[in-house]
Structure 1
Amino acid sequence: MGSLGNNGVLPREGLPYFTPANNGGASTSPTSPETPTLFRPLQIRQLTLKNRIMVAPMCMYSCESDPSSPSVGALTDYHIAHLGHLALKGVGLVIIEATSVQANGRISPHDSGLWQQGTESEQFKGLKRVVDFVHSQGAKIAIQLAHAGRKASTMPPWVAAEAGKRSLRAEEAAGGWPHDVVGPSGGEEQIWAPGDAFWAPRELSTAEVEDVVKAFAQSAELAVKAGIDTIEIHGAHGYLLSQFLSPVTNKRTDKYGGSFENRTRLLREVAAAIRAIIPADMPLFLRISATEWLDGKFEGFWDMEESIKLAKILPDLGIDFLDVSSGGNHKNQTIEPHTNYQIDLAGRIRKEIRQAGQKTLVGAVGLITEAKAASQLVQGSDLDVEAHTAESMVAGSNAQADAVLLARQFLRQADWVYHAARTLGVKITVPKQLGRAV
């Protein structure tokens, strides 16, 4: 390894195997007025991303599912190949899939988890291997901490599809936990969908809700020890925190139910607990469903007005970045997906945040596939050259987002960042091993 280093092929420090230290996807002229905002650095607290392109968390259902195995819920070589390849191809931030803070909080028995305590656990070691490789390729890495709540203990989607179903609940024989699926409220009326798709949840006691807060904090502490650059709280898509936010799924009468203040209490406590445990200079992200898409279905539900109200208190919670998605909390939702259906939500929330004099950053996600469209989302149209040069970390005032998050497009096109750079005429750095092909 020393002779290779002397020949200019410098290894990434801290790894037990050789790989050159890479940093693909960074603009070679990051402060140039000609560089589009998409390829300009983004600073969040003391974390600087080399571009504004993020890998949204994607469940891969590829972890050990045997509850008796010490490797249950641990990230594997598959995740190194999957996430590491995207890091190699130039993304600014990789967000690891929804990772449960409790064993019964996984969506499926094959999901990732970080509830085992200690740095010698297989869950910790699996996470650290992924973190180390992503860092070796010059990308930053986040982990999305989650609890599935009433949508837990289901089978991977392809298993359901093979049975001719959209969803299929996981029995104990498949590693599931039918008697320990939980939610803010319980009973048959709280099943996500009837039939054999989901289990009926039981209602969490007040003490158990408080244990959920502790579990988020404990997982966050382990993530920091593994070298994670930032943490995203999963408060979207009808999983546990989202269930607490909505009056449709939260029928509680204790301090966690009823008013907006009470329904947001669990999220606020989770944020406070994580903020207290992570370094002061580490950013904290939050993903929400901006609306449940239940207009005309219920008298009260989580909608844009409540999302805007929540967004304006995020600075008090120490949350720096809002990842705006939608839906997922009720089977009767009515969504008509089109190119901008979630981007418009992000743009409206960002506008409200800026009008309130706040600086919380906003991410747009959903059906983002084209480089020029992604660039325009963060560019805006009124960012003059002087401001662009002097404030390289700031998007245009009429931009709809500060960063874009892609998921399925990366599954279709792993080199999307390189493609975007070519489309936009941006010269970027490339990994040493790929230099002849880019």
Structure 2
Amino acid sequence: MSTELSIDLLEKSLLGTMLKENYLILDAGIQPSLFQSQIHRSIYLAMQHLARNNQPVDYITILTMVEPSEVGGANYLAGLQTFGDGEKFEAYVGIAKTEWREKQKQHILNQATSQNWTIEKIQKELDALQTDTLSVETDVKNDLVKMAERPYHPIEEEKIVPTDLKELEKLIVGFRQGELTIIAGRPSMGKTDVMNYFALTAGLAGYLPIIFSLEMNKAMLLDRLIAASGRISRLKMRDPFQYFSEKQREQWIPVLTELSKANLQIDDRAGLSVSQMRAQVRRLIKTNPEQKPIVFIDYLQIIYSNMARGSNQTTIIGQISWELKQMAKEFDCPVVCLSQLNRSVECRQNKRPVMSDLRDSGNIEQDADVIILLYRDGYYGLTSEPAGENSQIESGEAVNAKREKLELNVAKNRNGPTGIVSVNYSKMTGQLKE
């Protein structure tokens, strides 16, 4: 496939996606000059005009603004939506910008050669090329004007997502907007249960929890959430008809009703990239404008990367952690991502993890604002374990009382102190409690 044909299809996909999701027209920060086709440029200019005037954008409204010949005709416009692909939109925007810059670079170098430009002028033009696709306001005068009344009004309370764990909040306060939090532990240490607890707490506090469950499907994750909410043994959740007590059957609908109040959003597609997650977050923010989002990801090492094959795993994970931090900044929301720890912790006498135990750590330590490392004695058989599976199922409510200490070690905190907090954890229900 020729480069020209590839770019043409890419531009059709961008326009088709924006026709499906009108909010992307202004949110994506695309300049008309990015489109190499004059027809596509004319279509996008018409789309921008309609969007800025709060009008619906479709092929009919576009045709009311321009001559059909300027936009390829009515059939051409109507067919653009078939090329739309919301999941690949951001990746395609990146490719379009790269192609545009390359073309502009060649134009600049050709001009420089024919007109004998100075090195300084060439450098200036190439530097300007790096920011020419986005309009960025750099002058601080307007910002200073807005600050004029600051000493005369109380500070607006910062939006911080609560954890409902008082000792933990003494260290991190809560999950802050624009921050990346990494929660790390060995397999089966309790990472997903901790994530579920924070997601439920955030949802019931009025936030919008968006969970990307890359490893566990939605049904399994919901069973865990129901078990934790209703203080039900996860073993009983395998077959509620057979194992539920009469009391648990009576409380089933109230538990589901309470869980629904958290407005949880779960995307359980495997192999998602950060750009695909960003597209989904942007869509959910648009459809839930009244709620501030908080993003949860399970887990870091299985996020798909677009980096070339053969790239070093540490480099790939470092790139992903950087992209997660940029996502937190772009949407001004907390991003909480689970991470595996490497096996080196198993070889030490003291099994409590440290930051260097982060698997394929790369830049994780640098990018994360908060790092929480999980540890419990029961994982290593240092405390008594519950009875066997059959007796656990049949022992009814007694199994829910079996709790152990789970340590949340705040090993890094960019905006506060570090320290260790212990909570009560039930492995059978997944419930956390101080």
Question: Do these two structures clear the TM 0.5 threshold for a shared fold by scoring above it?
Answer: no
TM-score by structure 1 length?
A: 0.30
TM-score, length of structure 2 as denominator length: 0.30
Based on CA coordinates, which of the two structures has the bigger radius of gyration?
2
